Chain A
Amino acid sequence: MVAATLSMVSLLLLFCMVQVWTPLPDAPPVAAITPPAMTSVAAADDPVALPAANAAPQPVLEQDAAQQEIAILERLHSLRGAALPDGLRVDDSGALITDLQLKLLFDFLLAARHDVSAAELQTLLQARARALPQPAAQQALLLWQNYRQYQADVELLVWELKPDAAPDALSAEQLQTIATLFTRREQLQQDRLGELADRWFGEDNAYDRRMLERLQPLPSQARVTAAAVAPDVPQQTATDPWLQAAYEQQRDQLRLQADLTPQEQSTLLESLRRDFFPAHQEQIRQSLRDLAQGHP
């Protein structure tokens, strides 16, 4: 028994390693981002953002940097179509504004971690931060590093402690483990981000604790579940029972024809539905009923 278990674990580990070492295939193809159309959006909305047509040529090195950044941006497939959050801002005194918008920008970039490398994400942030005055730019980069470190720490913590079970099937011990995990994560937030921790994570932490508390046993009081308002399921158009029965009879006969391929059967069924139920919605509803009534 022990040997069998060990064999199974070894096999699983082998699979895990193969998974780690197997290079990822390319992401599915997506339409390329088209700068001209977007540039026109930019021109319409932000008069200072675009270079003037007669602007002086940029030094070659800066142009290379810009090209490199554009090349990285073009590979952010999973963020395609979304706006880059306006997270890098300073107040009147030139100090970095460290509100949730800054965290949003960091999260946005980290969400693309499978599109480009960590170094490339860093390059993008640096490019954005260059527009800030000092020391705000430096502070933004430092916070980015701390935030990434925090994320890495949390990932390790999850590796170490996370129980894997459905939320409605947790033991008391597992609940305690999750509570411990929450506490250690909150400590990491303080360690890595100091006074920002509460502003950035306070709401999430309170939500997590609230959810966890709901699963704690309540010995002295019954749990009250508020009755939800059940919306009325819409009355579907009443079908003539004779018509429905006739359809079902022909459908069932058709399904018994062994010489038809599934594709042919599907086509004939569709045609039958069209004959019996001229309205498109009724054909769809009948398809759903067929799926329910017709499975083997």
Chain B
Amino acid sequence: MKRDLSVAALLGALLFILPGVASAGGYATTRYPIVMAHGFTGAERYLGLVDYWYGIPQRLRQHGNEQVYTPTLSAVAGEHIRVAQLEAHIERIAAETGAQKFNLIGHSQGTYTVRAYAALHPERVASLTVIGGPVRGSKTADAVWMLNTGVGSVLPAVRDAIVALVEYLGWLQGKTNGLDLEQDALTALYLSTRAGSLEFGRTVGTHGFSEDCNGPMATAASGTVTDANGNEVAWRFPIYSWVGRGAPTSVFRSGEDLLDPSSVALTLSYYASKLNGEGENDGVVPTCGARLGEVISDRYYWSHLDEVNQLFGLTPDVDPRTVFLVHANRLQQQGL
């Protein structure tokens, strides 16, 4: 029995593990609130109905984290608009909770938003986590951008009509979530191109960023800022990322419906990216290009939507909610 205990202890020790020493709050309790920024065309709830972060805050709450916030930002806009909205939400959360720092998590374009926030207010960031982020853009976005500029130069009225429609749909997402939000489709698209994402990485979202996705990346950022009283304040936060690598219709792994129109669209995008030399991807974002900071994993067989446990939690492979749960505990272990 004693030997069994010693083996168990050793195993526990190896993962920072201790039976029975979890936080009094629960496995997922974090010191600082978790704030999640949704991606392109998203909202807190799709059309005000279905949660974007499907079942994820609920699962974290089930294990003791009552401080999870999922604000609605402009569905279709650049970061000059979205980050100001995130700042406003965070200030409101700070006023409500008294929190001075925040664990920021972004998905897809939301990863730009949290990175921009971290650039503006590093002293307010407890941790930075990016999921399925187009950190280095994608060739698919380049192709869409070229199409946009091509159509725009030949048939500007058609291009403007398409942009207006996309922005209307984006506005509708906000409206059904009770908010009237500014939209800017072209900047949102440009950010996802390789040129736009690199420009963003060089000038704004520099924390943990390297242009080569296979190159070394800083797993934490640190520095000092001067506060309102003129004092130097030191800050430091860890940076994490994860991303899926599953084709939405990789029938042997995710088995989704080949005949569904949206599935076919994502599949074509997936294979187009592969043929275009981008390697594994989640149907929207190249797997390698999504790496930032410490890579938790890029081996989940998930599509871009699976990463946030859509559709309706019917996600093949690893349960995304567990990945969030484990991550919350990882932050807890660091006192974050």
Contact = CB atoms under 8 A, between A and B. Distances in A.
A74 B19 contact: no
Interface in A278-296: 280-281, 284-285, 287-292, 295-296
Nearest to B17: A84
Contact of A165 (B10, B262, B317): B262
A15 B274 contact: yes
Contacts of B85: 231, 233
Contacts of A166: 46, 262, 305, 310-311
A83 B11 contact: no
A284 B118 CA distance: 11
Interface string A156-179: 101110111111110000000010
B312 A208 contact: yes
Nearest to A175: B312
A232 B5 contact: no
Interface string B285-317: 000000100111111100001000011111111
A48 B1 CA distance: 12
A33 B10 CA distance: 13
Interface residues of B, number: 122
Contacts of B16: 38, 41, 81-83
Interface in A21-63: 24, 27-28, 30-31, 33, 35, 38-39, 41-42, 45-46, 48-51, 55, 58, 62
A42 B199 CA distance: 45
A13 B92 contact: no
Contact of B179 (A104, A131, A228): A228
A39 B324 CA distance: 26
A265 B311 CA distance: 43
Interface in B18-68: 18-22, 27, 44, 46-51, 54-55, 58, 62-63
Given A164-B248, A234-B87, A107 B322 contact: yes
B247 interface: yes
B91 interface: yes
Contacts of A100: 62-63
Contacts of B291: 28
A113 B58 contact: no
Interface stretch (A138-146, A190-198, A211-219, A244-252): A211-219
Interface of B: 1-22, 27, 44, 46-51, 54-55, 58, 62-63, 72, 78-81, 83-85, 87-89, 91-92, 116, 119-120, 149, 176-180, 184, 186-187, 190-191, 195-196, 198-200, 202-204, 219, 225, 242, 247-258, 260-263, 266-267, 271, 274, 291, 294-300, 305, 310-319, 322-323, 325-327, 329-330, 332-334
26 contacts: A9-B258, A16-B250, A19-B247, A24-B299, A27-B295, A38-B15, A38-B16, A45-B21, A49-B6, A51-B6, A80-B15, A81-B333, A100-B62, A107-B319, A130-B4, A159-B254, A167-B312, A208-B55, A214-B50, A225-B48, A225-B177, A231-B91, A284-B203, A287-B200, A288-B80, A292-B81
Interface of A: 9, 12-13, 15-17, 19-20, 24, 27-28, 30-31, 33, 35, 38-39, 41-42, 45-46, 48-51, 55, 58, 62, 65-66, 69-70, 73-74, 76-86, 88, 100-101, 104, 107-108, 110-111, 113-115, 124, 127-128, 130-131, 155-156, 158-160, 162-169, 178, 181, 203-204, 207-208, 211-212, 214-215, 225-234, 236, 262, 266, 269-270, 280-281, 284-285, 287-292, 295-296
Q: Which 9 A-B pairs have the closest CB atoms?
A: A159-B255, A228-B178, A49-B9, A164-B263, A231-B88, A51-B6, A84-B17, A114-B299, A78-B297
